[in-house]
Every structure is written in structure tokens, then in C-alpha cells.
């Protein structure tokens, strides 16, 4: 299976390190990339933290042109998520699908903006669209629902989908102020320089939209949603809740009719109450099997790359 990987950041490097030696890989960043290069050379650059353009075979080329012209079976989109327009990934995906190529992605943008259109375009061209890594990083979500909960009668999903804000709330329970907790989260690398998508709930909402569309066949678009974040919570709020046996959590809730992200006080007995640090968790509420909760690292190179690899292995099995 020949791969065209877009993105040579944390997840792209981790994925390259996990691929078996016989893999055929072309890999591009925003300015260009390499193709028909032995995987070992790319792996050495990835593990050595070298820039892609340090490889002698690097050529300057627009990634869209690579999608249009290179010979590959699966486009692996690990480029940065754009929650303003979902571009340029929407253009990458359309081009790949129109060529009959499948897409595996960790990029939330196109799914949050045009899930149904992308799904239909893939089907029209006998291609596959897989996106396990877009929600909860290395924690199985869609594969769990698809393979293990088909007979359970899924009714609702609620979860902690943003590890950065969960980390901040955990620190506040330990006595840190909001501003201090945000600074710690930034130092740990959990927050971007512009942290608004995390703190205002946008990142969690994008993932909730994907859950709503993929698991409950809704047709929700991120641009039409209004998430709530954690910007208004104070240390006093957190301390008071703790005295009452409750914790603040930023919780996404999804079913067949609605999708929401809101800051909630939950009792210690709630299945999501004890998910701390930068972890994610989801509770699948079902008709026939009650509630099933899974948790794990919601981000990070290797956990996210492991979900991408899982999708690729699934595609290889059905080819």
C-alpha cells in the first residue's frame, strides 16, 4: 500500500517511525517533500528531528500538486487543523477522492465542516475515509463503536475531549489559579500560542461534531455551533465545587438530536469525574449494555500515530 503523507510534525514523525520497513511512502510538508525515497532515510530524519528539506531528495512542490500527480493508494493527512475554513485539507481530500484514493486523517477540519459531503464523495469514487485519530488521539472511539458496540444500541456519548483544558482544571483543583494553570499547560506543550480553540471549547466542539455526524448520522457543521469553554471558571468556583463533592469538567454531549460542549459540575461518582491530567475519556451510553467508558491519552505523537496506523491496517485488510 503506497502512502502519501502530508505533515512532518509530531504525529507525522511518529507515524513514520511505526511503519513497517516495506512501506512505500512519499511525505510532504507545506513547502514540498520527498517521494520514491527509502523509508529508512525518512525515519532517520524523523527520529533525528531533522527538517524534511534536509533530505537530499527534497523538492519544492505544493502539496496539492503532489496529491494531483503522485501515484499512491492512501492520502494520510496529518497537516495542521484549520477550524476557520478547513483548507487546504478540503482541497487535498477532494482531489484524492476524485482520483479514487482513500483518506486516513488526524485532521479534524474537513470532518467538522463538511463530513457528509466528504463521506459521499468518497463513496461515489469507491474510496475509504477513516479518521480514528481525530477524536481522543490514541483512544479507540470509532473502531470501538463500529466493531464492538454494533449490537449495544448506542443512544448517547459524553466525554472529555480536550486534554489541555482537563489538565488546567486538574491543576486548579490542586490550588493553582486559572492564569497559573494556563501557563503550566503552555509550558508542557499542551496549548498553542493562540490557545483560544482549547480554552473557548472550539477544539472539543469540533470533535463533538465529528462524533455526532459519524455515530448518529447528524449533519452538523462546526461553523453553526456555539461551544462553551472554561474561560469563566475561577479558583473559588473549583474550591466550592470540591467542598460540595463535585468537580468541574468540560464535557461534550452528543446524541441523535443534539451536540453540545459545556462546563459542568459533576459528582465524584460520575464516570468522567476522576479523569484527570491531560487525559480524554468517553462514556458510550447504550440501550443493551448500559454505559461503557474508555479513557486514554487524547494527544501526543505516538498515541495519535497509533490510531492512524490502525486505520491503515484496517484498510489493508479490506483491500
Tens digits of pLDDT across the chain (319 residues): 999 999 999 999 999 999 999 999 999 999 999 998 999 999 999 998 889 999 999 999 999 999 999 999 999 999 999 999 999 999 999 999 999 999 999 999 999 999 999 999 999 999 999 999 999 999 999 999 999 999 999 999 999 999 999 999 999 999 999 999 999 999 998 987 789 999 999 999 999 999 999 999 999 999 999 999 999 999 999 999 999 999 999 999 999 999 999 999 999 999 999 999 999 999 999 999 999 999 998 888 999 999 999 999 999 998 7
Query: pLDDT value at position 41?
Result: 94
Residue-range domains of the chain with CATH: 2-138+301-318 (3.40.50.720), 142-297 (3.30.360.10)
Query: pLDDT value at position 224?
Result: 96
Query: pLDDT value at position 192?
Result: 79
Identify the active-site residue in 119, 207, 249, 287: 207
Query: pLDDT value at position 299?
Result: 83
The three cell numbers of residue 23 are 512501506
CA atoms within 13 A on the CB side of 20: 9
Rounded Cα–Cα distance for residues 191 and 65 (Å) = 32
Closest CA relative to residue 209, chosen from 279, 158, 145, 260: 260
Query: pLDDT value at position 313?
Result: 96
Cα–Cα distances in Å, from 294 out to 4, 62, 231?
Answer: 31, 40, 27
Element (H, E) at 80: none
* Angle separating helix axes 109-124 and 89-98, nearest 10 degrees: 10
What is the distance, to the nearest Å, from the Cα of residue 226 to the centroid of all Cα atoms in its chain?
Answer: 19
Query: pLDDT value at position 193?
Result: 74
Bridge partners, residue 297, by sequence: 279
* Matching residue, cell 474561560: 231
- Annotated catalytic, 207? yes
CA dihedral (35, 39, 42, 47) in degrees, to 10, reads 160
Query: pLDDT value at position 189?
Result: 87
Amino acid at each position: 500500500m503506497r502512502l502519501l503523507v502530508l505533515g512532518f510534525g509530531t504525529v507525522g514523525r511518529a507515524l513514520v517511525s511505526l511503519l513497517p520497513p516495506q512501506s512505500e511512502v512519499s511525505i510532504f510538508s507545506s513547502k514540498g517533500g520527498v517521494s520514491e525515497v527509502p523509508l529508512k532515510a525518512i525515519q532517520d530524519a524523523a527520529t533525528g528531528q531533522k527538517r524534511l528539506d534536509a533530505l537530499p531528495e527534497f523538492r519544492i512542490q505544493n502539496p496539492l500538486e503532489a496529491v494531483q500527480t503522485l501515484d499512491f493508494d492512501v492520502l494520510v493527512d496529518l497537516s495542521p487543523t484549520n477550524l476557520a475554513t478547513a483548507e487546504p485539507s478540503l482541497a487535498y481530500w477532494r482531489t484524492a477522492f476524485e482520483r479514487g484514493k482513500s483518506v486516513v486523517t488526524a485532521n479534524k477540519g474537513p470532518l467538522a465542516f463538511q463530513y457528509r459531503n466528504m463521506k459521499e464523495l468518497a463513496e461515489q469514487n469507491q474510496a475509504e475515509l477513516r479518521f480514528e485519530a481525530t477524536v481522543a488521539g490514541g483512544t479507540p472511539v470509532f473502531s470501538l463503536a463500529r466493531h464492538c458496540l454494533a449490537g449495544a444500541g448506542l443512544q448517547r456519548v459524553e466525554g472529555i475531549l480536550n486534554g489541555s483544558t482537563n489538565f488546567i482544571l486538574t491543576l486548579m483543583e490542586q490550588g493553582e489559579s486559572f492564569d497559573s494553570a494556563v501557563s503550566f499547560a503552555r509550558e508542557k506543550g499542551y496549548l498553542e500560542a493562540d490557545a483560544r480553540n482549547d480554552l473557548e471549547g472550539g477544539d472539543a466542539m469540533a470533535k463533538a461534531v465529528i462524533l455526532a455526524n459519524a455515530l448518529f448520522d447528524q449533519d452538523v457543521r462546526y461553523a453553526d455551533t456555539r461551544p462553551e469553554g472554561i474561560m469563566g471558571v475561577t479558583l473559588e468556583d473549583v474550591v466550592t465545587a470540591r467542598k460540595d463533592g463535585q468537580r468541574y469538567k468540560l464535557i461534550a454531549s452528543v446524541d441523535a438530536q443534539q451536540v453540545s460542549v459545556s462546563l459542568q459540575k459533576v459528582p465524584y461518582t460520575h464516570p468522567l469525574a476522576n479523569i484527570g491530567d491531560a487525559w480524554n475519556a468517553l462514556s458510550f451510553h447504550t440501550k443493551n449494555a448500559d454505559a461503557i467508558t474508555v479513557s486514554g491519552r487524547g494527544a501526543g505523537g505516538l498515541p495519535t500515530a497509533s490510531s492512524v496506523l490502525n486505520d491503515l491496517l484496517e484498510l489493508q485488510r479490506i483491500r
